[in-house]
Structure 1
């Protein structure tokens, strides 16, 4: 039972950045904007979390900075895609490349080192007395980051907005028939800007989890493909908040399994590849079967 609790706890911990990354894709792409830059925004969020925590001596400052900077990048991303009508996939690749180079340069500028930063103040884990001792579900309440609970709240909030509000109804319609929605007098691009800023802020938050909650320092390229896993989870989950969360959990299970296969008679390189192989298999066999927003990548004047 201890092994099961540990596996569940580890899966929950590893799921946070993947599910938040998936949610970014869901938010942006349900409105028709392709968001391939999740990986890069998460990486900048991870750096901002560590830098803000280091500069202010407070992990909370790192959280705020990562959210603000992520939202700003989301806005700039939207400017390129919506106002200047740049190719959305190219913008996403550009953001990812920029993030890798920018964070490496700033790491050297701030800490005068390469590869990783100094230790910074981090977010403490939470244990709920009583509930943490319950078999199986106790793993959800023992030594877990506040980010985990925030993640579930964010998923729930997005679901409510998408399916229980007029804003969400209009926004989902924008992802399928933007010209028809615009003809009805809805400011399509304004909705998309709001969505992109929100998606960027969540991606920044996801990145800060890696640097000031799961760890207490920034490491070059520490997102390690989690943003791309999030995008795959978004597709696997059918561009729906709850579906993205469930798919993100599947990828987190694959990541957690690595730690239990290290003693098996399997080359370590294959063990390390497991989460990425699962991602590719899901995209190969599931990606063709799910139906995305009909106007994905299409703009209006």
Structure 2
């Protein structure tokens, strides 16, 4: 038999190749745990849960639904079982689990948890309040995460987000109080973030000091300076220098009157709307503009960027300043955005959680808000449970947002890769 007529050896089948691939069990295992917890809650629940899904300002008033806790949890448990079966069957076949499975399991578990927590109680589970609080609490995390994206995409590690948030809160409170105009306080807050960013650029970029060390030092510096000024200057004349001023709520006509959605998305302060705009603009500019291409080139391969005429140092510094302004604007939420006077350590670690949100969002402007909303929701749930009374111990409730942060960063998301040249000095 000639070589031309000799039959070819059979190629390995696709099925055999897939069987050699390791199973990806993160989503299936997480779904299984959520399902088991839902079934446990169904077994221990009793009474009814009352939800509030509209406010007095809504044109269309919706009667508060009253759900029997145990039957509702059983239905949600069956839905979780179905989703878990789908996840394990896809993983067993070595095929990717559909992207909608994870969010669906999360939604089912959250609804089950709220139903269980409010079961048998006279108090109402305020869904509108929870969701509105989630969005508000995510504002500094989103702005801080966007600051990290802008800086690290251009090659600079910005650990100083915590300090930028705190400086923005301080200057926003002082300017808003002195001028009695919270709008001016909101405008001044980014300037404080820019000043911290310039210090990071001076030492981290100009003098090539380790950027992580500089960022941590700046956080401690801002905390010390603001605490000192609060204890000395602001406390001596708090009525003039540190009074509570608040940005007005701006309701979007018609949209703000929609039950549940309207109060949450379209009955907010200007900071919320600026957050929407910042996410949209950066998502487009980062991947659809020359500016974004140059930024990403400086963060991935600065030598190649320099070869084609891009000033790497200037690009990194400009983006670091932009990130500082974004973080400072996020810091304004703690004071003029919330109607509170400045207090010591108001940021309370939100800058570090913003870094976690940036990482979970894969260094993308559109991915960062999802992670920030997760952390904001965890904080909102903890606050709500503390108010309505819950079978969960109070100390554990306070730990909820930080537990969610640790679990999320520990591996409940896919692997993400940082920009190749972040933190690497150039030239």
What TM-score, normalized to structure 2? 0.67
Distance 1:136 1:182 in 2: 51
Deviation at 1:224, TM superposition (A): 1.0
CA deviations on 1:191-250 (whole Å, 9 max, x unpaired) are 101100000011111111111111331111011111111100000000000011111111
| 1:33 match | 156
Deviation at 1:267, TM superposition (A): 1.7
From 254, 257, 277, the counterpart of 2:378: 254
Q: Structure 1 113/283 Cα, relative in aligned 2: closer, same or farther at 3 Å? A: farther
Structure with larger RCO (C-alpha < 8 A, sep 6+): 1
| 2:177 match | 54
From 343, 346, 355, the counterpart of 1:219: 343
Q: Which runs of 5+ in 2 are unaligned?
A: 1-52, 55-125
Deviation at 1:287, TM superposition (A): 7.4
User: What are the within-5 Å matches in structure 2 for residues 202-213 of structure 1?
Assistant: 202-213=326-337
Q: Secondary structure at the match of 2:380?
A: helix
Distance 1:286 1:162 in 2: 26
Distance 1:280 1:228 in 2: 12
From 405, 414, 417, the counterpart of 1:279: 405
| 1:189 match | 313
| 1:21 match | 144
Q: Which entry has the higher C-alpha Rg, 1 or 2?
A: 2
User: What are the within-5 Å matches in structure 2 for residues 53-202 of structure 1?
Assistant: 53-112=176-235, 118-141=242-265, 143-202=267-326
Does structure 1 retain, via aligned residues, the 8 Å contact 2:146–2:365?
A: yes
Does structure 1 retain, via aligned residues, the 8 Å contact 2:168–2:332?
A: yes
Does structure 1 retain, via aligned residues, the 8 Å contact 2:173–2:242?
A: no
Q: Which runs of 5+ in 1 are unaligned?
A: none
Deviation at 1:83, TM superposition (A): 0.6
Deviation at 1:50, TM superposition (A): 0.5
| 2:391 match | 265
CA deviations on 1:250-296 (whole Å, 9 max, x unpaired) are 11111111123221122211111111111111121157821110111
From 132, 136, 139, the counterpart of 1:9: 132
| 1:292 match | 418
Q: Secondary structure at the match of 1:112?
A: helix
Distance 1:114 1:273 in 2: 35
